[in-house]
Amino acid sequence: MTPTARTDGATDLAEPSGGAVLGEVASRVDAVLESFLAGRAADLAALDDALVPVADSVTALVRAGGKRLRPAFVWWGYRAATADLDEEVLKPAGAVELLHTFALIHDDIMDRSATRRGLPAVHAALADHHRRAGLTGDPDWFGIGGGILAGDIVFVWADELFEDARLDDAAKTRARRVFGTLRTEVMAGQYLDLRLSGLPTATDEDSLRVSLLKSGRYTVTRPLQMGAALGRPDPELVERLSAFGDAIGVAFQLRDDGLGLMGDPDTTGKGALEDVREGKRTLLVLRARELAGAAGRRRLDAVLGDPAATADDVDAIRELVEGTGALDEVERRVSALRADAEAALVGIDGPARSALLELAAEAIDRSA
């Protein structure tokens, strides 16, 4: 993506084309994040060298991957609303990625997940540091406390990166309101997800509500709205982007749930055992329970939420999910949501439409 000159002294970005829609935006966001995190790591080290492992574990998590879907949706929400190509928009886009990093750090603690993106989760990395440094006390508890604080630091950094953007004040004010809504919704959705794991009477509607708040609006809808707010939004455009975002966002979470249970851990970077032990009541699991016979329901209820569940128990749940037809049913729902999303883009033309369709495919047609 080659910068082009602007008469106002700012820098523009050339438009990505073809299959580069995600990759080009991601590479630019990665450059912003790399520079920003290097500065923040230096700030922590200046406070005390003992903080270096915190910065290192966070930086390693950001570098380890992620498709950068959320920043891409910020960028293309902006592009749907304006013909401008201002690279400063990459900073709010990067702020959304840092917020995602914060959420992953805390999510791994809540889910008792030891790995993320093929690396030790941040709390696990800090527990390992406790052991290597010869500190006294419980290293695992230290890691949990340290992980919570590391996530909190990244939450603050997300705000700092957002505010670093040299953009019109009115546009930043509009986008900041959406960013606030995004953060409230994702934490509300996370709480409801925790509650859902212990709710014996959980329904499909309960699970879909969590999918919408915890993932759908957080991943697609609010980033799109943030980008539009940084451009020149109009109510009709925002309505179309919102309908597209809610549909693709929920489909994204349903795909994530399927990969979490049925996918290859070497590819997804996270195993299914943690979610089974936590008793995750995804739509996929709830549909399997509804469609299973009495014996299947007893088997599922005995395993789901059992902290001693084994890999064989996970395999049994997988067989149940496939055998009941629940997997096929959820796949049909994903296809229907995709069709709804495509219909919502009618009236949005040019590169933004084709880019959003490509990003929709990235969100849904994936193996990790």
> Tens digit of pLDDT for each residue in 159-188?
999 999 999 999 999 999 999 999 999 999
Q: Is the pLDDT of residue 305 over 50?
A: yes
11 SS3 class: strand
Number of Cα atoms under 13 Å in the Cβ half of residue 43: 9
Q: What percent of the chain has pLDDT over 70?
A: 92
Nearest to 311 by CA among 281, 283, 282, 271: 271
Q: Is the pLDDT higher at 363 or at 143? A: 143
At 39 the pLDDT is: 98
Mean predicted lDDT score pLDDT of the chain: 90
At 98 the pLDDT is: 98
The size of the chain, in residues, is: 368
Residue 6 — very low, low, confident or very high, per pLDDT cuts 50/70/90?
Answer: very low
Residue 2 — very low, low, confident or very high, per pLDDT cuts 50/70/90?
Answer: very low
User: Six-digit token pair at 40?
Assistant: 């923040």
Name the amino acid, one letter, at 195.
R
* Mean pLDDT, residues 36-51: 98
- Model confidence, pTM: 0.88
DSSP string, 76-116: HHHHHH-S--BGGGHHHHHHHHHHHHHHHHHHHHHTT--EE
Q: Is the pLDDT of residue 198 over 90?
A: no
DSSP-assigned letter for residue 269: S
Q: What is the largest CA-CA distance in the chain?
A: 71
